[in-house]
Amino acid sequence: MNILLALAVLILAARIGGELATRARQSPMLGEILAGLLLGPTALNLIAPNETLEFLGHLGILFMTFLAGMETDLRMLRKVAGPSVLVSVLGIVFSVGLGFGAGWLFDFGVASSLFLGAALSTSSLAVTARVFTDFRLMRTRVGLLSMAAHAIDDILAMLLIIFVVSFFGGDAAAEPVWLVIGKVAAFLALAAVVGIFLLKPVMRWVYRLRSREMHFTVAVLLVLGFGWTAEFFGLADVLGAFVAGAFLHYTEEAEPAMVHRVEALSDGFLVPIFFGVIGLQTDLFLLVDAVPLVLVVLAAAIAGKLVGCGLGSRIMGYTTRESVIVGAGMVPRAGLALIMLGLVPDGSLPEVMSPLLVAIVFLTALVTGPILRVTVKPELRRDQDEPVAMAGRG
């Protein structure tokens, strides 16, 4: 199929799928992946992935992580800092451990088992926010704790993924652990200097320019510049994009219009391509003979967050029911788990890994609602206008 026609068909199908998923109270990501599955080898086999689609999809990764960085508000985290850190850390530890165990059980090998564990360490803020909104939990203390833990998950999981990806392909696979950690530290130190001392003056200068689109241009340059710098240090460019967004969050001159333009480019064009391409690259028929694998990994994915995050909440003084709600809210897995697939060389992972992660992202998003439905009592769904009572007891 002609590349322009293929691009048009993929974007249209992905956007329709995203709209249908939204109407079904699911993440648009699920509909966009489903559109790719429909157009790919799983169903119609109309479009084959190519370098152009994959490049545009990778740009979508960069801008999506940039926006995730801009949404990370460290000031909010201070309010539930202790509980949210413990919830996030225990959830990641349990998820990585159970994911690694599942991979090892099915003979994935050390590196691929660690990859699976890292993929299960992620969590989807978008899916949880939608489900919590439906259950009127967003402004309760368990809602605030869950959102804060998600924000910490984004940071810790991103660093963990960069670490795990270093084991695959090229010279990075041969580098010692201490060197990989040193590169992360050096990059973050350089990014901190630029973000704290240079970004604000630059944005003030841009704010005085007459060009209305200059803010958007600066956002694009930040994504590409920080991404290239991360690659220069031997790290994944997504870490650079995330850090750029995190620093820009604290820059007053980063006007909402700039964010809206980036969101339009990302959500309206590039991100649907990325998740659509994930579907194009996935053949779910490969899972026909892997049902036991899917069930074991799904159980590990649910238990990792439900037990790990729930235990963290319970230790910090939350009730058992509240702890189950927090743990259930962390169960949905993020597109970051799928982004990992694009960060390792082809052929480095078992063939079943791509359809497996797609299935896990789908299934964990679908089970969250039912878990909460049998857990949440009406008295926990506090009125939206009632001030949130901060937790952190113990």
The burial class, CB within 10 Å (0-12 / 13-18 / 19+), for 181 is middle
Contact 33, 275 (CB under 8 A): yes
Instruction: Evaluate whether residue 382 is within a structural domain.
Output: no
Low-confidence ranges of the chain (pLDDT < 70): 71-79, 126, 130, 166, 168-178, 180-181, 210, 212, 236, 252-255, 257, 335, 377-394
∠241-88-393 over CA atoms, to 5°?
130
Give me the count of residues in the chain: 394
Question: What's the token pair of residue 160?
Answer: 């963990």
Burial label, 263 (beta-carbon count in 10 A; 0-12, 13-18, 19+): middle
Q: Note the pLDDT tens digit of each residue in 246-305.
A: 788 777 656 676 778 888 888 889 989 988 888 887 787 878 888 999 999 999 999 999
Asked if residue 388 belongs to a domain, the reply is no
Identify whether 44 is part of a domain. Answer: yes
- For the chain, give the mean pLDDT: 81
Q: How far apart are the first and last CA of the chain?
A: 61
The domain tally of the chain equals 1
Cα separation of 60 and 246, whole Å? 17
CATH code for the domain in which residue 32 is found: 1.20.1530.20
Residue 177 within any structural domain of the chain? yes
Domain carrying residue 29: 3-377
Q: What's the pTM?
A: 0.70
The DSSP call for residue 388 is: P
Is residue 317 in some structural domain?
yes
Residue 354 lies in a domain: yes
- Contact at 8 Å (CB) between 381 and 137? yes
What's the pLDDT at 297? 96
Enumerate residues 6+ apart whose C-beta is below 8 A from 37.
43, 279, 282, 284, 358
How many whole angstroms separate alpha carbon 273 and alpha carbon 288?
26
Supply 394's token pair: 């113990």
CB 282 within 8 A of CB 40: yes
387 lies in some domain: no
Q: What is the pLDDT of residue 172?
A: 44
Q: Is residue 166 part of a domain?
A: yes
Which tens digits make up the pLDDT trace of 29-42?
Answer: 788 888 998 999 88
